[in-house]
Amino acid sequence: MKTIQRFLISLGFLALITLAQADKKKIVFISGSPSHARMHHEHRAGNMILAKALNESGLDVEAELVPHYGYPEDASILEEADTIVIFCTGHGGHVLNPNLDAFDRLMKKGTGVVMIHWATEAVKGDPANKFLEWMGGFCDLNWSVNPHWTPNFKQLPDHPICNGVKPFSAYDEWYYHMRFVPDMKGVTPILSDLPGPKTLERPDGPRSGNPHVRKAVSNGESQHVAWAYARQDGGRGFGFTGAHDHINWQNDDYRKLMLNAILWTAQAEIPEGGVPSKTPSDEQMRANLDPK
């Protein structure tokens, strides 16, 4: 009898553990191949900092990195994901270009998506159209620009992504003048500021300037460098144009906003004070850097 009781108790514990694991939001990170100089475009190291913070947050989340560069060789890792974070080279080198149909099936299931920095830049045509469907906006050549500048995010919207985030400023390569869905339907700007004229000192070019962006800035139109998107299918997307400079993950508000956004796209509840995380040390910031 005691043996049976112990067996039943063990089964009960296993059921509780299984239930707890099932309740956790699964977050998968995809890291693009190395690019740029050291401490810039650190796709894998940046993803590792974010995943570590989520796994140590004490929240019901489980973050996992694809164990190699690029789109997962075993795509089953994405099947049960609540959201997918992509940090990679953009435009023609984007990891999603050869995988649009497979990724679109995940999006149509309601899976969330976060795209960081260059990953927001899409090729015109099918990739750009899908980016609009998935996250409401994208970085568009000869429309958007990629200057280094220091915006001041003085006013944050009343949105769960901003829970616990204080106004902040950070020098980075903030792309702006994104291409958004018509009438911004479903889009909530999260980080916005009016760029200074120095951001458009370069001559016109695919990423440096164009008549459209110059007119927008001269008209005093605030530019959105991070945004949330509520899709019609119930899924959620988030675009973030910063993170060229790896060191910015040490900025507590910068990092908290990103962690909050990842949870929001996973449709998880965000604590009132935001996702807690420790400031990465200088040693941690220089760990796991790509060989360059």
Residues 6+ apart with CB under 8 A from 280: 49, 249, 250
pLDDT confidence of residue 3: 54
Contact 145, 200 (CB under 8 A): yes
Taking the whole predicted model, whether its pTM rises above 0.75 is answered as: yes
Q: Tell me the C-alpha distance between 95 and 67, whole Å.
A: 15
pLDDT in tens, 5-57: 554 445 444 434 443 455 899 999 999 999 898 899 999 999 999 999 999 99
pLDDT at 2 over 70: no
Tell me the per-residue pLDDT of 139-185, one tens digit each, with 9 for 90 and over: 999 999 999 999 999 999 999 999 999 999 999 999 999 999 999 99
- Are the beta carbons of 109 and 134 closer than 8 angstroms? no
pLDDT in tens, 250-266: 999 999 999 999 999 99
Q: What is the dihedral of CA 169, 171, 172, 176, to 10 degrees?
A: 60
The proportion of the chain whose per-residue pLDDT surpasses 90, expressed as a percent, equals 89
* Pair type for strands 112-116 and 137-138: unpaired
Mean pLDDT estimate for the chain: 93
Q: What is the dihedral of CA 76, 230, 135, 35, to 10 degrees?
A: -70
Residues forming beta bridges with residue 145, ordered by sequence position: 176
Mean pLDDT of 231-251: 97
What pLDDT is recorded for position 242? 98
Instruction: Establish how many alpha carbons lie within 13 A of residue 81's alpha carbon, considering only the half-sphere containing its beta carbon.
Output: 32
pLDDT tens track for 68-83? 999 999 999 999 999 9
| Structure-block tokens of residue 145 | 């620009």
Q: Pick from 16, 32, 232, 11: which is nearest to 121 by CA?
A: 32
